[in-house]
Amino acid sequence: MLSMPALKSTLPFGAPFTWSTISDLDLFTVNSRGDRHKDAVKTLWILLTASTLNLIWTQHNKVQYEDANPLPLPQWFELSFLGWMTSVRRWLRLQDHDCAIRTSALHVLHTLRGQANYRRLWEQHPNSLLLAPTAATN
């Protein structure tokens, strides 16, 4: 198992997904690659943790109270990705087009597309960040 410093160095922007960084945003840090984009990475991080915690909570309740089966691991990855992208897409639409954090967030997301952990999900859902409305079909 990788130590925290080793793990942090393997992440594109150095933001580890740990309970301490989820529960205490003051502990949120980025590596030197993420310094320029820290506000954007932090915004994306907040959206990721919020959507992931929501998914965990709703799935827990379905299993606990509605006698549903737990989701298979691939579905967890896909649903957490789609929930996160939905939150990100809404946040991006609410920002001014010339907002520096918005521009930085788009750069960060473009970088994440090439990461092994995200590549398959981006390929499965290439329009997950489509910001323009699509034409209605009959």
Q: Please state, in angstroms and rounded to a whole number, the distance separating the CA atoms of residues 108 and 129.
A: 13
Q: What is the mean pLDDT of the chain?
A: 86
Going from the C-alpha of 115 to that of each of 49, 62, 130, the distances in angstroms are 19, 32, 19
Q: Please state, in angstroms and rounded to a whole number, the distance separating the CA atoms of residues 45 and 15.
A: 8
For helices 100-113 and 73-94, give the axis angle rounded to 10 degrees.
150
Q: Domain limits of the chain?
A: 74-127
Instruction: List, for residues 63-85, the tens digit of each pLDDT value.
Output: 999 999 999 999 999 999 999 99
Q: What is the DSSP letter of 14?
A: -
Name the more confident of 40 and 22: 40
Residue type, 10: T
Instruction: List, for residues 116-127, the tens digit of each pLDDT value.
Output: 888 899 999 999
